[in-house]
Amino acid sequence: MDTTTASPRPHDGSPTIAVRDLTMRFDAVTALSDLTVSVPSGITGLVGANGAGKTTLMRILLGLQDPTSGSAHVLGIDVAADPLGVRRRIGWMPEGDCLPPDVTAADFVAHTARLAGLPPRPARLRASETLFLVGLEEERFRMIGEFSTGMTQRVKLAQAIVHDPDLVLLDEPASGLDPQGRREMLALVRRLGDFGIDVLISSHVLSDITATASWVVLLDEGRLLRSGPARPDETTGLVVAEVLDAADAMADLLRADGTAVTLDGLRLVVGPGGGDLEPRVVAAAARADAGLVRLTRQVATLEDEFLDAARHRHAAAATNGHAQGAAPVRPVPPAPAVDAGEDRR
């Protein structure tokens, strides 16, 4: 990877990752359940609480874990048919501690470049360039065992990209970092996208995903909740109107046009709807002589979508349990499921 003149590499528009009916069971535990999803090129966030199936999915995509059923294709390659072909074209940054403490960063990253097929001298040159890219140019000849958590994470990132892969899988890359280290790591992830490297980054911290990814895949207990753009569409959502009077008449006018309205005193929650919703609300307020005081649009955040979907799924599971005469399913409180801010460990 030329870290000075690299330009985004072209994409043909086909999915970077495509899985179909993917299921992974470990004895009585189902880690993934009938997962079907396609991931476009770019930076994609894989979001879910601990135990949602993120790491299991990554291991299957790497060809390190055979699924119970279903299929997975990475960069157009059938993982089950050619796992080595997949691994030749991707990089992998695992979450846990995996680096030898008694080796320098330069030697270790050069070794991983050799494993990827580079000759000795190009491997050492590429290792130096990559360690410079991740901010370890001054520390590259120190033993890894002397490194802080942040420095260790940077070495793990360097070994994942030293062979110039087409796709990098990053499993919780900002785990254990302080706020400054987290920001710097996420900036490095965004830079990979600038170089045209596709990235799948897993995290249970939603702010990490919104800061880096253009696409998001939400998992909950091995099931797909959502796959789509990471940032909310500000042309959709609810409009909240506060009026001085005649709220009932204004609501009736809007409902007559087929618009959903929830009335709470002199406060109307209207929609969802697109960009024409505000003009319709203003027109209804004028016709009803309601005296419009304030008009705001509420756009659902990624956290809202995750928690709402999780609530609905747990409520459905409880309803099905009662319908089948089974013991009621205790809803799992959704609030702590995903951390919306920085990791506070």
Lookup: tokens for 182: 């987290």
The answer, yes or no, to whether residue 326 has pLDDT greater than 80, is: no
The answer, yes or no, to whether residue 28 has pLDDT greater than 80, is: yes
pLDDT at position 50 is 82
C-alpha 72/C-alpha 166 separation (Å) is 17
For residue 95, give the nearest of 6, 12, 170 by alpha carbon.
170
* 3-state DSSP of 23-61: EEEECCEEEEEEEEEEECCCEEEEECCCCCCHHHHHHHH
The answer, yes or no, to whether residue 94 has pLDDT greater than 90, is: yes
Q: Is the dihedral of CA 132, 133, 139, 140 positive or negative?
A: negative
- pLDDT per residue over 253-292, tens digit each? 999 989 999 999 999 999 888 888 999 999 999 999 999 9
The answer, yes or no, to whether residue 330 has pLDDT greater than 50, is: no
Question: How are strands ordered across the β-sheet holding 90-93?
Answer: 90-93, 167-171, 198-203, 43-47, 215-220, 223-229
Strand partners, 268: 241, 263
Stronger pLDDT, 343 or 68, i.e. the higher one: 68
- pLDDT per residue over 152-163, tens digit each? 999 999 999 999
C-alpha 311/C-alpha 338 separation (Å) is 13
Average pLDDT for 317-324: 64
Spatial CB neighbours of 229, under 8 Å, sequence gap ≥ 6: 214, 215, 216
Strand partners, 29: 26
Helical spans, DSSP H, in the chain: 54-62, 83-89, 105-115, 120-133, 149-161, 179-194, 206-212, 247-256, 277-288, 302-323
Which region, left, alpha or beta, applies to residue 75 given φ > 0 means left and ψ of -120 to 50 means alpha?
Answer: left
C-alpha 57/C-alpha 65 separation (Å) is 9
Lowest mean pLDDT among 218-227, 278-287, 303-312: 303-312
Amino acid at 195: F
Q: Is 109 helix (H, G, I), strand (E, B) or coil?
A: helix
Lookup: tokens for 165: 């892969």
The answer, yes or no, to whether residue 6 has pLDDT greater than 50, is: no
Mean per-residue pLDDT of the chain: 86
Q: Are 48 and 204 in contact (CB under 8 A)?
A: yes
The answer, yes or no, to whether residue 328 has pLDDT greater than 50, is: no
C-alpha 140/C-alpha 131 separation (Å) is 7
Amino acid at 176: G
The answer, yes or no, to whether residue 333 has pLDDT greater than 50, is: no
Stronger pLDDT, 248 or 13, i.e. the higher one: 248
The answer, yes or no, to whether residue 88 has pLDDT greater than 80, is: yes
Confidence of residue 234 (pLDDT cuts 50, 70, 90): low
Q: Are 257 and 280 in contact (CB under 8 A)?
A: yes
Q: Is 278 helix (H, G, I), strand (E, B) or coil?
A: helix
pLDDT at position 42 is 95
For the chain, domain boundaries: 17-229, 238-298
Check whether domain 238-298 has CATH 3.40.50.970, yes or no: no
Average pLDDT for 91-120: 95
C-alpha 272/C-alpha 260 separation (Å) is 7
CATH annotation of 17-229: 3.40.50.300
Q: Is 338 helix (H, G, I), strand (E, B) or coil?
A: coil
Average pLDDT for 3-14: 53
Q: Using the structure block, give the residue that is written with the tokens 């120190």.
A: 142
C-alpha 151/C-alpha 170 separation (Å) is 16
**Predicted structure pTM score:** 0.74
The answer, yes or no, to whether residue 332 has pLDDT greater than 70, is: no
